[in-house]
Amino acid sequence: MQGFRLFQSPYAGEVNKEVWRIANSARATMGGVLKRNGTTSGGLMDSAANTDDLVGIVIGFKGTDGVPLDECPTADYGHTVTVAGPNYSITAASDNETRGKGIYVEIIPILPGMILSGYLDDAAGTTTGSDLPGYYIQQTATAGSNYMLDENTVTLTVSATTLLFMTFPNPADGGLTCKDPSSEDSRRILVRVLSAVTNLI
C-alpha cells in the first residue's frame, strides 16, 4: 500500500494510537495525513493543502464502539467508501460527529522528530534532491492524494510550507540516499517530521 507509515520514533515506548470522529461530510484516506476541520468542528479530515497543520496518519477506520468497518453497513452509518488504486477513502455522513452510529478514523499522531516512510508521487530523483537527504519536501496538496509526498516540491529553501518534512539519511547506505531500506519500492523515502504546524515563521 502507498501512504505514510512510521519508520522510527524518538519517543520511549510505543506511539499511542488515537481514535477520532471524521468531520461531517469529510473524507479520510488510508495512509494519508489529516488535519482538524477547524472551521465548523474539531473532527478530522484529509489535508488538502501543503499549508495545513497536520494531526496524524490514517491507519484504520472503525464504527461507534469499535465496530470493524466491514461490519458498518452504510445504511446505518451513512458513509461511502471510495477505492482509488491501492488506497481507499471514507466519506462520512453529513451528521457524522453527532449521529449515534458514526465512523471514526484511527491515527498515529504526527510528532516532531519522528522518522516516517513516505511515498513519492513521481520517481525519486526526477527533481534534484528527492532522492537525497537534507531537503525539505511537502505532502501533496490534494485531498484524496494526501497519502503521497509531492516529489517536485523538494527544496533547500526554508519557508512556512517547508517546515513539515525533511528527507532523512538512509541508515543502510551510509546516508548516501534517503531511500527507505525496509522497502523495495524506489518511490518510498524517509522523512523527518520537523513540525506538525506550518505557521512557525
State pLDDT tens for residues 35-58.
998 777 889 999 987 778 889 999
Looking at 109, 132, 148, the residue that finishes a domain is: 109
Question: Do 136 and 47 reside in the same domain of the chain?
Answer: no
Looking at 49, 84, 109, the residue that finishes a domain is: 109
The percent helix, strand, coil of the chain (3-state, each to 5) is 5, 35, 60
Q: How confident is the model at residue 145 (pLDDT cuts 50, 70, 90)?
A: confident
What are the backbone dihedrals phi and psi of residue 97, each rounded to the nearest 5 degrees, phi first?
-80, -10
Looking at 58, 86, 109, the residue that finishes a domain is: 109
Instruction: Give pLDDT tens digits for 56-104.
Output: 999 999 999 899 988 999 999 999 998 866 788 999 999 999 999 999 9
> Using alpha carbons only, how large is the chain's radius of gyration in Å?
17
pTM beyond 0.85: the answer is yes
pLDDT averaged over every residue in the chain:
89
At residue 115, does pLDDT exceed 70?
Answer: yes
